[in-house]
Chains A and B, each alone.
Chain A
Amino acid sequence: MAAKKIEVANLRIAYGAREALKGVTFDVYQNEILAVIGPAQSGKTSLLKALNRTLEGAANARVAGTIKVDGEDTSRVKSVHELRRKIGMVAPLPVGLPLTIYDNVAFAPRMAGLRNKSDLDELVERCLRQSALWDEVRDRLDMLGTKLSGGQQQRLTIARALSHGPEILCLDEFSIAIDPVTTMRIEEALMELRSRITIILVTNLTQQARRLADRTMFLWNGEVIELDRNEVIFSNNPGDRRTYEYVNGIFG
């Protein structure tokens, strides 16, 4: 088995009195695509937010347990900003920053101190190519990112998430607001990226998890019901009956 990229141990997250995650433990391996499936309110988004420590900004959220990235405890890293640059995040609804397309992608590298114009140009082009957006926007990089269509904005968000050279890419239901054709294009882009980075794919579409992932984790009610290779999860007899029922749409 490949090296462990992320180790989550006994992670608990609570919002006030409501527990979103009730102590989950799992590992993510280097260069794999791990899909996380599960119904709404099962703690998927909270999990991602805990990973890059943006959950700390939420008013009443409490986190317990440990998350290690590359063997280093995220709560003890020297710079939380460096940790966040290591992890690319793509939100369910595309958020184009109110900047030009170019500046949207160049934002993170600039904030990290990159100033050289030709380096930035090269980086912006590479990220936009990786997110399958370059051909559509190459002639209008100075247009506002917020003026792009929903699907284009989502790809812009992916380009931005790639712009700070992450080793881990987290996608939170990225296809919720975009059409199937665009979804397929992004999925192809992800298949290409997997050779270099580790991908965590939170999705409501079990078929998407089946298509893309190496392993799939079924979260339900804040607990890991099952985490195994796709061949097992999507087979006729996965380890837990509930997994079979959820995957085949007879859950409830």
Chain B
Amino acid sequence: MSAVIESPPPTDVAAKFTKTDFVRKNERRELVARFIFAIMALLMILPLALIVGHLFIRALPVLSFDFLFKVPVHGMRAGGVWPALLGTIYLVLISLAAATPVGVLAAVYLNEYARENWFTRVVNLAVVNLAGVPSIVHALFGLGAFVVFAGIGRSILAASLTLAIMTLPVIIASAKEALAAVPRSFREACWNVGATRWQTIRHVVLPNSVSGILTGVILQVSRTAGETAPVMFTGAVFYKAIKEGDIFAYGLFDQCMALSMHLFTVSTQVPDVPDALPYGTAVVLLATVLAVNALAIAFRVYLRSRKKW
């Protein structure tokens, strides 16, 4: 006799897949939450799109190749922004060239060598507080320290150094963060095999934090390019004629024009400026900043793809 195999009680397969009320409720909530978050994200993009769109449309009449590479004429009422664009580029490059080495080396000291004591606490406190000082205060400091006290006079150099002082704390903070992101176990492994601190930093820590450090530095470009007050006090001028298309038109001790200040001038100081001109200047400033930021992002993506752990 064969054993009777009891078949399992019939189950309703469909019932296993129908959603219970609890599941449905959760799904509804999920949808609502998702919708709210998405709206907030959109709200963030909206002003940016509106600003850029508005600027661009208003600036359209003046935007041309000539606008970039001609000097302003008719008392700033026509022509291009070349001296201001070049001035801004000078200011940005020189200020970063001054601030980057100091900032990065200071960050290396603070993160790799210094122990937690009153000195490092004071330095860290100073870094945090300096980052919060308004730019107009930096402007006055630059005027006093570089233009008057150091006797450099109102010049590209004085303005760049003022901007450098302004960006320094942020560069230190971001470089420190990038260095701290390298796992401590890497350092210990190096010390264990008899490598000195500097060898460890040079061969393991820096190569693995350089992407973060550079990102922090490059993001400061937008800040330097946008600041008006510090350059107005220390080296930027209302108008300066330079040779069109000559990228070495400014000397270190010359005064220069700057996009941010030019924008201020044409929109508030000169009567009867055609409407499109300030907008055009703003677009050039914005495009310069966005171009540099895009570069920074591309660079970061490239370096991150080479990250080794």
Residues of A that sit less than 8 Å from B by CB? 52, 54, 57, 59, 81-85, 88-89, 91, 93, 95-99, 107-108, 111-112, 144, 146, 157, 160-161, 163-164
A112 vs B309: C-alpha distance when bound (angstroms): 25
Is B195 part of the contact surface with A, judged by Cβ < 8 Å? yes
A95's partner among B189, B199, B208, B307 (CB-CB below 8 A) is B189
Closest to B202 in A: A111
Is B203 part of the contact surface with A, judged by Cβ < 8 Å? yes
Give chain B residues whose Cβ lies under 8 Å from the Cβ of A98.
186, 204, 207-208, 307-309
Q: Let me know if A82 and B191 touch, CB within 8 A.
A: no
A116 vs B195: C-alpha distance when bound (angstroms): 18
Q: Let me know if A84 and B192 touch, CB within 8 A.
A: yes
| 3 smallest beta-carbon distances between A and B, as pairs | A98-B308, A108-B193, A85-B194
Is B269 part of the contact surface with A, judged by Cβ < 8 Å? no
Contacts A98-B309, A107-B203, A144-B308 hold; do A161 and B188 have CB atoms under 8 A apart?
Answer: no
B195's partner among A81, A146, A157 (CB-CB below 8 A) is A81
Closest to A162 in B: B193
The smallest C-beta distance from B224 to any residue of chain A, in angstroms, reads 32
Q: Let me know if B191 and A111 touch, CB within 8 A.
A: no
Give chain B residues whose Cβ lies under 8 Å from the Cβ of A99.
204, 308
The smallest C-beta distance from A131 to any residue of chain B, in angstroms, reads 14
Q: Let me know if A97 and B116 touch, CB within 8 A.
A: no
Q: Which of B156-205 contact A (CB under 8 A)?
A: 185-186, 188-196, 199, 203-204
Q: Let me know if A52 and B199 touch, CB within 8 A.
A: no
The smallest C-beta distance from B19 to any residue of chain A, in angstroms, reads 42
Closest to B196 in A: A81
Q: Let me know if B193 and A111 touch, CB within 8 A.
A: yes
Residues of B that sit less than 8 Å from A by CB? 115-116, 185-186, 188-196, 199, 203-204, 207-208, 307-309
Contacts A59-B115, A91-B185 hold; do A97 and B204 have CB atoms under 8 A apart?
Answer: yes
Closest to B115 in A: A59
A59's partner among B116, B194, B196, B204 (CB-CB below 8 A) is B116
Q: Let me know if B193 and A95 touch, CB within 8 A.
A: no
Q: Let me know if B191 and A54 touch, CB within 8 A.
A: yes
Q: Let me know if A160 and B189 touch, CB within 8 A.
A: yes
B188's partner among A54, A59, A144 (CB-CB below 8 A) is A54
Give chain B residues whose Cβ lies under 8 Å from the Cβ of A96.
309
Closest to A103 in B: B203
Give chain B residues whose Cβ lies under 8 Å from the Cβ of A89.
192-193
A57 vs B195: C-alpha distance when bound (angstroms): 14
Closest to A112 in B: B194
28 contacts between A and B (CB under 8 A): A54-B188, A57-B188, A59-B115, A81-B195, A81-B196, A84-B194, A85-B193, A85-B194, A89-B192, A89-B193, A91-B188, A91-B192, A93-B185, A95-B185, A95-B186, A95-B189, A97-B186, A98-B207, A98-B208, A107-B190, A108-B193, A108-B195, A111-B193, A111-B195, A111-B196, A146-B309, A161-B192, A161-B193
The smallest C-beta distance from B83 to any residue of chain A, in angstroms, reads 47
